[in-house]
């Protein structure tokens, strides 16, 4: 099976290959340019030495005279003189230089044999009466190249050392850069093994991509933990809420079976059972709606409806409960507001708000229900002058099962789910809901839903 290299190793490998290739290309370029330049320099030096030599050669009185001042060897350059037939006349040639090397003209050539390599430059001049005289300059290529061979050797030693240092340095840097990734992986693994959602990566401060990735993960864990907590809370609250009516039903049944002797007593127990069963049914239906809303399966059944009429009907229905508390109910409903919405959900929205207004309203109090069209929104309000809500509870009343004070308001039908349903219904229609309230003075619940 092919083993995959870690990213660290892959980066280091690519980095090394890239470095060696770059170094090799630049060195090859440097050496070839350097060698060309050194050949050009050698040619220049040879040419000037050869041309200078002709100053020491003269043809006088029928013979060719070569002055003794002619430097036959100077600064590594050997000078030799030949006649047109190629016969050696004067000068010095390096040891082992091939004596039969043909004379060329005005162009530096390279001559090699087993003993060495030389640069050779020949120049010819005509001496009237005598003919052509050739002067040859020879210098050892080894001298010219010695600087380069030192450079070559140095490169051969230094390059591997440099590559090694950069490989180790590259690997160290990659390891350092990837250390936070290791931390991310370890945290994710710990969370998935232990299920402990309180764990966080918590990298030390930094602004690079890996830090922002870690922060994003930490943020995600925060939200996961919060959702998980809410879910746990919801389940335990639901179980708790269902347990109370269930135990009441059980105890009533037990009492009736053991102690009820008359029809009246049995009926009384049955009424109590019925009330608790109704409460449970209501709770279960609300829970079901909220659970469906949570997993996205509770779809709105939208249709064109006259929201004004619907509101009027609900108000008439609620009138009876308001009267029981001697609450004066007023309406300010704009006529014929047409709206595309879910009828059942909108009814539930009004019922929940109005029932709360009555339930938490004072005896002989007032309740106002208003509905109007403002620009491109529908605005609904339920205003009561009841017990009000303390500022510390205002944010929390929308949470599931949250009840401000159950002792203060004992209510058979209270579940603490009403306002969370209201919020969901309004938001599912694209709107928002808010509350203004003063303890002891009353509350105003307002929702606004865009018409389009």
Q: How many residues bind ligand ADP (CB under 6 A)?
A: 21
x/- site string to ligand ADP, residues 175 to 214, per CB under 6 A?
----------------------------------------
Q: Determine the Cα–Cα distance for residues 226 and 235; give it in Å rounded to an integer.
A: 14
Binding ligand ADP (rule: CB under 6 A), the pick from 418, 424, 429, 433 is 418
Q: If binding is defined by CB under 6 A, does position 329 make contact with ligand ADP?
A: no
Per CB under 6 A, the segment of 171-179, 192-200, 281-289, 400-408 that binds ligand ADP is 400-408
Site string for ligand ADP, 428-447 (x = CB under 6 A): ---------------x----
CA–CA gap between residue 15 and residue 287 (Å, rounded):
60
For residue 121, state whether it binds ligand ADP (rule: CB under 6 A). Answer: no
CB of 301 to ligand ADP, least distance (A): 23
As measured in angstroms, the least distance from the Cβ of 187 to ligand ADP is 38
Give the one residue of 42, 139, 145, 415 binding ligand ADP; rule: CB under 6 A: 415
Euclidean distance between CA atoms 31 and 46, whole angstroms: 22
Please identify, among the stretches 19-27, 129-137, 220-228, 401-409, the one whose residues bind ligand ADP according to the rule CB under 6 A: 401-409
Q: Is 404 in the site for ligand ADP (CB under 6 A)?
A: yes
Three-state DSSP state, 260: coil
The residue within the footprint of ligand ADP, chosen from 387, 425, 426, 433 (CB under 6 A), is: 387
Residues in contact with 238: Cβ distance below 8 Å, sequence separation at least 6, in sequence order: 283, 287, 401
Shortest Cβ distance from residue 392 to ligand ADP (Å)? 12
245 binds ligand ADP (CB under 6 A): no
Residue 113 to residue 84: CA distance in whole angstroms: 25
Which of 201, 389, 425, 433 lies at the binding interface for ligand ADP (CB under 6 A)? 389
342/355 with CB nearer ligand ADP: 355
CA distance 102 to 258: 139
- Counts of helices then strands in the chain (DSSP H, E): 7, 15
Closest to 376 measured CA to CA, from 448, 300, 291 = 448
Distance CA 41, CA 120 (A): 13
List of long-range contacts for 281-286, beta carbons under 8 Å, 24+ apart:
282/413, 282/415, 283/238, 283/241, 283/242, 283/245, 283/415, 283/417, 284/242, 286/415, 286/417, 286/418, 286/421
355-384 residues in contact with ligand ADP (CB under 6 A) are: 356-357, 360, 384
The label of the residue with tokens 């529908």 reads: 378
We find the least distance from the C-beta atom of residue 387 to ligand ADP, in angstroms, to be 5
Does position 234 interact with ligand ADP (CB under 6 A)? The reply is: no
Question: Is there binding between residue 414 and ligand ADP (CB under 6 A)?
Answer: yes
Question: For ligand ADP, which is the closer residue by CB, 122 or 385?
Answer: 385
For residue 400, the minimal CB distance to ligand ADP (Å) is 8
The tokens describing 343, both together, are: 């009828």
318 lies in the site for ligand ADP, by CB under 6 A? no
CA-closest candidate to residue 138, choices 184, 98, 196, 192 = 98
Q: Does 424 bind ligand ADP (CB under 6 A)?
A: no
From the centroid of its chain, how far is CA 104? 72
* Coarse DSSP helix, strand, coil percentages of the chain, rounded to the nearest 5 percent: 55, 20, 25
Interacting span for ligand ADP (CB under 6 A) from 74-82, 311-319, 322-330, 409-417: 409-417
Among 45, 322, 419, 426, binds ligand ADP (CB under 6 A): 419
- Closest distance between ligand ADP and the C-beta of residue 395, in Å? 11
- Beta carbons within 8 Å of 50's beta carbon, 6+ residues apart: 79, 121, 122, 123, 135, 136, 137
C-alpha to C-alpha distance for 194 and 191, rounded to whole angstroms: 5
Site stretch for ligand ADP (CB under 6 A), options 99-107, 135-143, 327-335, 396-404: 396-404
Our CB check for ligand ADP shows the closer of 217 and 402 to be 402
CA 452 distance to own-chain centroid: 36
Nearest in space to 283 (alpha carbons), one of 315, 240, 233? 240
Report the distance separating Cα 59 and Cα 64, nearest Å. Answer: 4
**145 or 356: CB nearest ligand ADP:** 356
In the bound state with ligand ADP, the residue whose beta carbon lies nearer, of 104 and 444, is 444
Q: How far is the CB of 426 from ligand ADP (least distance, A)?
A: 13
Residues in contact with ligand ADP by the rule CB under 6 A:
352, 356-357, 360, 384, 386-389, 397, 402-404, 414-420, 443
């Amino acid at each position: 099976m092919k083993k995959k290299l870690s990213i660290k190793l892959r980066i280091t490998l690519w980095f090394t290959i890239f470095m060696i290739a770059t170094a090799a290309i630049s060195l090859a370029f440097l050496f070839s340019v350097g060698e060309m330049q050194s050949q050009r320099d050698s040619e220049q030096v040879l040419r000037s030495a050869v041309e200078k030599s002709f100053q020491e050669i003269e043809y006088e009185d029928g013979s060719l005279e070569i002055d003794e001042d002619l430097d036959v060897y100077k600064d590594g350059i050997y000078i030799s003189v030949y006649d047109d037939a190629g016969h050696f006349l004067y000068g010095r040639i390096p040891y082992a230089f091939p004596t039969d090397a043909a004379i060329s003209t005005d162009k530096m050539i390279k001559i090699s044999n087993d003993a060495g390599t030389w640069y050779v430059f020949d120049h010819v001049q005509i001496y009237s009466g005598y003919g052509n005289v050739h002067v040859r300059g020879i210098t050892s290529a080894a001298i010219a190249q010695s600087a380069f061979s030192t450079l070559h050797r140095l490169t051969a030693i230094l390059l591997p050392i440099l590559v090694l240092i950069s490989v180790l340095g590259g690997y160290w840097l990659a390891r350092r850069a990837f250390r936070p990734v290791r931390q991310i992986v370890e945290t994710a693994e710990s969370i998935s093994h232990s299920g402990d959602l309180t764990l966080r990566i918590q990298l030390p401060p930094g602004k690079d991509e890996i830090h922002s990735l870690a922060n994003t993960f930490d943020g995600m864990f925060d939200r996961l933990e919060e959702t998980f907590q809410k879910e746990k809370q919801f389940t335990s609250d639901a179980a708790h809420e269902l347990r109370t009516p269930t135990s009441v039903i059980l105890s009533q049944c037990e009492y009736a079976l053991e102690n009820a002797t008359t029809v009246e007593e049995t009926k009384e127990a049955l009424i109590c059972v019925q009330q608790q069963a109704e409460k449970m049914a209501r709770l279960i239906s609300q829970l079901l709606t909220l659970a469906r809303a949570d997993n996205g399966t509770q779809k709105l059944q939208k249709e064109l409806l006259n929201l004004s009429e619907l509101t009027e009907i609900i108000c008439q229905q609620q009138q009876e409960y308001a009267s029981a508390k001697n609450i004066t109910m007023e309406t300010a409903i704009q006529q014929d507001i047409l709206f595309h919405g879910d009828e059942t959900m909108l009814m539930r929205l009004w019922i929940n708000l109005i029932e709360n207004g009555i339930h938490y309203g004072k005896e002989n109090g007032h309740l106002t229900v208003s509905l109007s069209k403002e620009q491109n929104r529908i605005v609904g309000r339920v205003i009561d002058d009841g017990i009000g809500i303390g500022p510390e509870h205002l944010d929390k009343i929308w949470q599931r099962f949250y009840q401000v004070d159950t002792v203060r308001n004992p209510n058979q039908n209270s579940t603490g789910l009403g306002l969370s349903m209201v919020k969901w219904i309004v938001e599912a229609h694209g709107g928002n809901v808010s509350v203004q309230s003063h303890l002891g003075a009353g509350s105003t619940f307002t929702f606004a839903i865009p018409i389009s």
